[in-house]
Amino acid sequence: MGAPRSLISVTLCTEQNLSHDFGQSVVGFFCGSRAFVLERLPVPIKSISRSGASQDLERLVSQLLIFGFNGTELSTRLKTTISALQPGGIILFARNIESPRQTHALLRSAQRLVENKMFLCVDMEGGTVDRLRDAVAPAPSVAEVFASQRPQLFREHGRVIGMEVRALGFNVDFAPVLDLSSEASEPVMRTRTASGFQDETILYARHFLRGLRESGVLACGKHFPGLGEASLDSHQELPVVFKSWRELWLEDLRPYRTLKRELPFVMVAHCAYPSVTSDKTPASLSRKWITEVLRRKIGYRGLIISDDLEMGGVLAAADIGDAAVETLRAGADIFLVCHKEENVWRTFYTVLAEAERDHRFRRQVEAAAERSRRFKESCRALNRPAVPPPTDAAIDKLRGELREFGEKLRLATAARATAVRVEESLGSSS
Residues with a known catalytic role: 235, 307
CA–CA dist 230, 189 (Å, integer) = 9
Q: How far is CA 133 from the centre of its chain?
A: 19
CA–CA dist 287, 331 (Å, integer) = 6
Q: What residues pair up with 228 in beta bridges, in sequence order?
A: none
Whole-number Cα distances in Å, 412 to 64, 123, 408: 43, 26, 6
Q: What residues pair up with 389 in beta bridges, in sequence order?
A: none
CA–CA dist 240, 231 (Å, integer) = 8
The single-letter DSSP state of residue 352 is H
Measured at the CA of 259, the angle between CA 138 and CA 268, to 5 degrees, comes to: 70
Residue 321: closest CA among 129, 131, 43:
43
Q: How far is CA 258 from the centre of its chain?
A: 21
CA–CA dist 162, 172 (Å, integer) = 9
CA–CA dist 406, 395 (Å, integer) = 16
CA–CA dist 188, 181 (Å, integer) = 10
Cβ 25 vs Cβ 9: under 8 Å: yes
